[in-house]
Every structure is written in structure tokens, then in C-alpha cells.
Amino acid sequence: MWILWAVMAAISAALVIVLTKAGLKNVDSSLAFAIQAVLILMITWSVVLIQGNFYAWKTIDRNAWIFLLAAGVCTTLSTLFSYKALSMGPASYVATIERTSLVIAIILAIIFLKERVTWQIVVGGTVMIAGAVLIALSEKNA
């Protein structure tokens, strides 16, 4: 079932790139994200309330709070950086370079989460980086 959720996340992320790029015309990138962040808060807290999980925040331990808050800071910075890049460059190039984060995530998961390295992960990560480099360099020839 996780694969379905992952595919839906990928489709949503692709839509975010395209819709944001279209919406950034004559709008400051930070302001655009601030507007979207209000919706993010409203929608996510609505889901929490509908699921009946509101009071579960009281059971979150200290380490989880630290990790979740740090992830929130990183999410915010990542989005601000992404929106700024989108305001300046073509969506296809920005998205490609930004998605090299997948390889960085793989490396960090191996180091910090002790996830297993397989030849498929190594080859897949290498292909992702090669593809990103190929696309990034294609702009110079366009």
C-alpha cells in the first residue's frame, strides 16, 4: 500500500512544481510560499482533526519533537529555495536538480538510519545523478 501513497506523493510534487512556476509570474517567491503555507496548515490540521488525532501530540516524546521540528525547518528552507529557483529558472531544470535530493536522502538513510545498500540502490542513484547532470548541461546547448 505504501507504493500507492508514494506514487500519489510524486504526482502531487510534480503538480506543485508546475502550478508554482505558473503562479510565480509577478509574485515574490517567499510571498507565494507564505500564501501556500496558510493552506498547508489549514488542510493538514483539518486532516488531524477529522482523523481524531489532535490530542496525540501530548504523547510525542522529546526526541521525536526535535526531529520533527528540525524536519519542519528543513522543509521550509527547501521549499523557499525551490520557489526562488523556480522564479528564476525553467521548471524542468529546477525540478531535476532539486530531485537529486533523492540520492542525498539515500546516502543519509544509509549513514544515519543504517538502511541496507544494494547494487540496485547504487545503480539507481548513479543513474539519477547522471540524468540530472545530463539535463542540467543540456540548457547550455539549448
138 pLDDT above the threshold of 90: no
Could you report the per-residue pLDDT of 16-38, keeping only the tens digit for each? 999 999 999 999 999 999 999 99
Q: What are the backbone angles phi and psi of residue 54, rounded to the nearest 5°?
A: -55, -45
Q: pLDDT confidence of 64, banded at 50, 70, 90?
A: very high
142 pLDDT above the threshold of 60: no
Could you report the per-residue pLDDT of 43-52, keeping only the tens digit for each? 999 999 999 9
Average pLDDT over residues 76-95: 94
Which residue is it, cell 481524531? 52
Please tell me the number of Cα atoms within 13 Å of 125 on its side-chain side.
Answer: 16
pLDDT at 139: 64
pLDDT at 140: 58
Average pLDDT over residues 118-129: 95
CB of 102 closer than 8 Å to CB of 78: no
Please tell me the number of Cα atoms within 13 Å of 37 on its side-chain side.
Answer: 14
135 pLDDT above the threshold of 90: no
141 pLDDT above the threshold of 80: no
69 pLDDT above the threshold of 70: yes
Distance from C-alpha of 133 to C-alpha of 120, rounded to nearest angstrom: 20
CB atoms within 10 A of CB 108: 12
CB of 90 closer than 8 Å to CB of 139: yes
CB atoms within 10 A of CB 21: 19
Average pLDDT over residues 77-86: 95
Cell, residue 30: 517567499
pLDDT at 49: 97
What is the per-residue DSSP string for 64-81? Answer: HHHHHHHHHHHHHHHHHH
Average pLDDT, the chain: 93
Distance from C-alpha of 128 to C-alpha of 101, rounded to nearest angstrom: 10
